Amino acid sequence: MLSISPRIAHTLMLPAMLALAACSQAQTPPGKGAAAPATASATAAARKGELPAVLKGIEKHGFEVVSEFDAPGGLRGFAGMVGGQQPAAAYVTADGKHVLVGSLFDAEGNEVAAETLEKLVAAPMSAKMWSKLEASAWVRDGKADAPRVVYTFSDANCPYCHKFWEAARPWVDAGKVQLRHIMVGVIREDSPAKAAAIMAARDPSAALLENEHQFDRGGIKPLPSISRDIAAKLDANQVLMVEMGFQGTPGILFQDAQGQVQRRAGLPQGNDLQAVLGPR
């Protein structure tokens, strides 16, 4: 996998899963009774569905609340995502002073929020990601009616992108897979001009194949200048690549059997190639 150019320094990294947020309260001094129950105002807020103030403490760690859900044991459950990409559940204690982010299991070992996160977070997030990929400036490689679509962020100078193109030939040539190359220019100085030569061609798909077939001899000839329209598309593609969690090429996205978007950074190896491209 090859890295993006230094000018994209604001890469979106997936934060580590949060452990425990919010400050602990002082213990009850000896001789004092247990902590008082939640105040009437706090109870009223909970009934109205207002977010507990303690959730503000984990927002700085990248947790974004999507929806509240029923949780056991007097907890309030909140489905959300970390870093805009990782579904996660947060549980606020009954006193509203502490919050735990992670997995909660029942007596049978089932994760309490698994189905909830799938329904409220993962599925909508995947649908949104796929829509953004569909709306991007991509170049088709394969039959238009192929039953499986795989997106790949590709640089015309990237050797690993070329290896993925070669590895995918049996699936593409058989009409089983359509690769959609979202062209970026991040590897070498002439990468944007080569990407532009493909995207601006009368037949972009043919230009893409020209680059791949001549890859060992330098690939497609770069354009002497890039139009504003193509430059804007290249910039948008590079921003999208970073947004999708990739720092380099190839960055591959596909839908699994459940319709959820899966990612692969770099060239898939061994059996993982079939996970990306489907049965051969």
pLDDT tens digit sequence for 111-141: 988 888 888 887 888 889 999 999 999 999 9
Least confident of 21-30, 207-216, 224-233: 21-30
Q: Domain 133-277's class?
A: alpha beta
pLDDT for 191-215, tens place per residue?
A: 999 999 999 999 999 999 999 999 9
**Using CA atoms, how far apart are residues 213 and 220, in angstroms rounded to an integer?**
9
C-alpha distances (whole Å) from 186 to each of 119, 155, 205, 264 are: 36, 7, 20, 18
Strand order in the sheet with 251-255: 138-141, 177-183, 148-154, 251-255, 261-265
Domain boundaries, the chain: 49-104, 133-277
pLDDT for 63-116, tens place per residue?
A: 989 889 999 999 999 999 887 778 899 999 999 999 999 999 999 999 988 888
Kindly tell me the sign of the dihedral angle through the C-alpha atoms of 124, 125, 131, 134.
Answer: negative
**Using CA atoms, how far apart are residues 249 and 242, in angstroms rounded to an integer?**
11
Is the separation of the CB atoms in 3 and 153 below 8 Å? no
Is the separation of the CB atoms in 208 and 181 below 8 Å? yes
Which CATH code is given to the segment(s) 49-104? 3.10.450.70
